[in-house]
Structure 1
Amino acid sequence: MDDMAATGRKAKGRLSVGQLKDAWRDMLLLRRFEERTGQLYGRGLIGGFCHLYIGQEAIAVGIGLCMEPGDRSITSYRDHAQMLVAGMTPRGVMAELMGRTDGYSHGKGGSMHMFSREKQFYGGHGIVGAQVALGTGLGFASAYKGDGKVAIIYFGDGAANQGQVFESFNLAALLKLPCLFVIENNRYAMGTSLKRSSTVAHMTKLGEPWGIPAKRVDGMDVQAVHSVVEEAMDHCRTGKGPYLLEMDTYRYRGHSMSDPGRYRKREEVEATRQERDPIERLKRELQADGVDESFFTTTAAEIKAIVDDAAAFAQESPEPAPAELWTDVVTED
C-alpha cells in the first residue's frame, strides 16, 4: 500500500476538507521524511550529495493531486518529495538514500539518481537543466503514443536560463507536446539570488517567445497550486501543447547538506517560516473549518511511525554485492 494518502487519486475542482486533510498528511510526510534524511546524513549513514525539499512541500503534493495513473514526472537533484508523490515507498526511497540493495536503484543511485519505471518517475538528475530536455522526450513519447498522459518537468530558477531549457520549450511548442514545465523558484540557485542571475523578475515570461501559456502561483499554498495545476494539466492533456508554471516558493535549508546558507539572513528564513509555511498555513485553514486537534496529533504519530519504519528498514537492508557493478548497464528493451 502506498504511504502517500493522495497517490493515484485525481482531485478535481475546489478541494474538500477531506482532500485537504490528505494533503496536510502528505506534506507532513514529506517534511518528516526530509528531516530524518538530514539527521541520517549528519550521522554518516547517507553519503554523497543530498538536497532537501523542506519548505516546498505544497508544490509536489498539489501537483500530485492532479496527476492520473501513467503521468510521467522527472526532476532535478532535489527529488525525494517527487518520488514519494509518484507512489514510491518511504522504505524503498530511504534504502536507496543509504545505498542499500532494497533501494529503487539497488543502492547505486543514491539521492540524486533514483528511478522507478513502475511509478513513471524518471529521476533525479544531477546535471543542471538536463531533466528538462529528457522530460520533453517523455512528453514526445506521450504524444507519439496518443495515451493522453502528461510529462511533469520540474526545474529550479537556477536552471531556467540554461540553453537546453529554451530548446526544449521550442520543441514542445512546435510539436504541441503535453509537457507541464514547473519552475520551482525558491529564490536562490545554490548561493546566488535570482536578482543577481536573471533580468527576468517573473519567470513566466520565459515561455513567451514560443507562445507557451504561463502562470505564477503561490507555491506555499497547496490549494492554489492544485487549482492552477488542474487547469494547466487539462490544457496539456487535451492536445493544446505545453504549459509553464512558476511556483513562488522557498527552501529553508541550504542548497545541499554541505551549504551553510550564509548568503541570506536568518531573519529572512524565519520570517518565511512564520508567515508562509505550507503545513502550518493549511493547518490553520483546517482548524477554521472545524477539524479537531486530534486529527493533527494522530496523523503526526502515524507519520512518525512511517518514517521510523523506513529508517529502520533501510539500515537493516544489506549493501549491494560487488556483482551489482555490472548490472543495469545495458538494456535490451
Structure 2
Amino acid sequence: MQKMLNIISNVLRGSANRNGAELVREGSRVVVASRTYADFTPQATFDIKKCDLHKLEEGPPLQAVLTREEGLQYYRTMQVMRRMELKADQLYKQKIIRGFCHLYDGQEACAVGIESGINRTDHLITAYRAHGYTLTRGGTVREIMAELTGRRGGIAKGKGGSMHMYAKHFYGGNGIVGAQVPLGAGVALACKYQGKNELCVCLYGDGAANQGQIFETYNMAALWKLPCIFICENNKYGMGTSVERAAASTDYYKRGDFIPGLRVDGMDILCVREATKFAAEHCRSGKGPILMELQTYRYHGHSMSDPGISYRTREEIQEVRSKSDPISLLKDRMISNNMASVEELKEIDVEVRKEIEDAAQFATTDPEPPLEDLCNHIFSNEPPMEVRGTNPWAKLKSIS
C-alpha cells in the first residue's frame, strides 16, 4: 500500500510539467496524472475595444469568443512570425541576407487576425513588409527564409527576396509604395466578375496613405461596388517620419470619404479578427468596399538599414512592448482564463525555436539558383522562348 502511495505521489509531483492525460504504468497498476486537457476551459468570451466608426450605424461586436484550440493556433503562428523576423535580423547583420529587408515583428496580430476573419479562398495583396502574410497565406518558414537568402528553395525560387514573395491567392510583396492598392482593386473586380463570392484584402501602410493612386482606387472601387477591404496598417511611422508630421489628417479610416471605415486596435488579435469578419460580411453582401485602419506598431526600424531609434526613443519602443505586445496580450488572456498552462506555451516556444533554426540552416546551405534559371517564369503556360540578354548577342532561354 505504501509503495502505491509513493508512486501516486511521484506522478502527481511531476504532472505539473506534463500536458494532457498521461498514463504511468507500474506493472498492472495504472496511475492517471492529475491534470488532463479536460481541466482547461474550452472557450471563453472576452470584452474587446470598441472600434471607431465612419459612415456606419453599427460596428463589430464588443465581445469575442475564443476557443482553446484557436488560441493555441494563434499563439503559435504569431510566435513563428516573431522568431522568424528575429532570425532574419540576425542573418542580415551577418550579411547572409542582402538588399532590402522590412521586418514585421510587433504587427503579428494584424496578419493573424485578418486571416482568421476571411477565407483561404479570398485574396490578399500587401506592400513590402510581407513575410508574415506569406506565412499565413500558406508559405513555409523554410521557403520564406530561403527566399530571404536568395536560395533555390525559396518561395519565389530565390529571385524575389524580402519584398517579392507569392503564394496561392497572395499577390505579394510589392516594392512600389502604394502600387498594390490599384492592383488589389483589380483582383476585387475579378472576384465580382467571376461571381465566386470572394473578396480581396488590400493592405498598405500609413506612409502610403497619402499616395494619389490610393484615392483614385477608392473612387473606382466605390463606383463599381467592388468587394475590397482596404486596410491601412498604421504603425505610427512612414520610414522615419511620424504620422503627425506626414499627414494633415491622421484619421486614416475616414480617408475613403464616401467609403465606410473602421479604426481598430491592431495589437489585439481578437479586435482585428472581429473587425475583419464584419468588413468581410459588408463586402460579401454587395455593399461595396470598406476601409479599416489597424493601429499597430513595428519594433524594428522601417528596414534593416534603419536603426529605428533616431526618430523615436528606446523607451517608447519598450513601453509598447511592455503594455501592448500582441503575443503577450493573448498569452495573458489564455493563462488567466485557464485556457492553457505556462508549461504548455513554453513547449510551443521551444518547438517554434527549433523550427526557425532548422529553416535557417536550410536557408544557409541550400544552393543558389543557377544562371540558366535567370529568365524562367516570365510567362505562365507558354512554350520555351528566347530572351535577349544584356546585349543583342546574349541569348537566354525562358521556360514557364
Contact 1:148 1:238 in 2 (8 A): no
For 1:177 and 1:90, how far apart are their aligned partners in 2? 33
Find the partner of 2:115 among 16, 41, 64.
64
Find the partner of 1:139 among 188, 195, 220.
188
Q: Corresponding residue for 2:268?
A: 221
Find the partner of 1:231 among 278, 284, 289.
278
Paired positions, count = 318
Matched, 1:324 2:373: yes
User: Which has the bigger relative contact order, CA under 8 A and spacing at least 6?
Assistant: 1
For 2:217 and 2:260, how far apart are their aligned partners in 1? 15
The residue correspondences of 1:1-333 to structure 2 (distance < 5 A) are 14-116=65-167, 119-208=168-257, 211-261=258-308, 262-290=310-338, 291-332=340-381
Q: CA deviation at 1:260?
A: 1.5
Q: CA deviation at 1:221?
A: 0.3
TM-score normalized with structure 1 length: 0.93
Q: Secondary structure at the match of 2:95?
A: coil
* Alpha-carbon displacement from aligned partner over 1:136-166 (angstroms, at most 9, x marks no partner): 1111110111111111111000000100001
Q: CA deviation at 1:315?
A: 1.8
For 2:118 and 2:154, how far apart are their aligned partners in 1? 24
Q: Corresponding residue for 1:10?
A: none
Q: CA deviation at 1:101?
A: 0.9
Between structures 1 and 2, the one with greater strand share: 2
Amino acid at match of 2:129: R
For 1:256 and 1:308, how far apart are their aligned partners in 2? 22
In structure 1, the gaps of 5 or more residues are: 1-12
For 1:146 and 1:313, how far apart are their aligned partners in 2? 42
For 1:103 and 1:67, how far apart are their aligned partners in 2? 26
Q: CA RMSD of the aligned region, Å?
A: 1.3
Contact 2:114 2:273 in 1 (8 A): yes
For 2:320 and 2:370, how far apart are their aligned partners in 1? 45
Q: Secondary structure at the match of 2:192?
A: helix
Q: CA deviation at 1:332?
A: 5.0
For 1:277 and 1:104, how far apart are their aligned partners in 2? 29
For 1:311 and 1:142, how far apart are their aligned partners in 2? 37
Worse overlay, 183-192 or 193-202: 193-202
Q: CA deviation at 1:220?
A: 0.3
Between structures 1 and 2, the one with greater helix share: 1
* Alpha-carbon displacement from aligned partner over 1:68-127 (angstroms, at most 9, x marks no partner): 1321111111000000011111111111111011112111100001112xx211010110
* Alpha-carbon displacement from aligned partner over 1:303-331 (angstroms, at most 9, x marks no partner): 11211121122222110010111112234
Amino acid at match of 1:104: I
Q: Secondary structure at the match of 1:207?
A: coil
Q: CA deviation at 1:302?
A: 1.1
Q: Secondary structure at the match of 2:203?
A: strand
TM-score normalized with structure 2 length: 0.78
For 2:66 and 2:288, how far apart are their aligned partners in 1? 26
For 1:190 and 1:253, how far apart are their aligned partners in 2? 11
Q: Secondary structure at the match of 2:66?
A: coil
For 1:84 and 1:201, how far apart are their aligned partners in 2? 30
For 2:76 and 2:69, how far apart are their aligned partners in 1? 11
Q: Secondary structure at the match of 2:264?
A: strand
Question: Which has more radius of gyration?
Answer: 2
Contact 1:91 1:310 in 2 (8 A): yes
Contact 1:100 1:106 in 2 (8 A): yes
For 1:104 and 1:252, how far apart are their aligned partners in 2? 25
Contact 1:14 1:227 in 2 (8 A): no
For 2:143 and 2:361, how far apart are their aligned partners in 1? 12
List, as ranges, runs of 4+ consecutive aligned residues in structure 1 with deviation greater than 2 Å.
Answer: 329-333
* Alpha-carbon displacement from aligned partner over 1:207-241 (angstroms, at most 9, x marks no partner): 11xx2111001100001111111100111122221
Contact 1:95 1:313 in 2 (8 A): yes
For 1:82 and 1:36, how far apart are their aligned partners in 2? 17
Q: Secondary structure at the match of 1:33?
A: helix
Q: Secondary structure at the match of 2:190?
A: helix
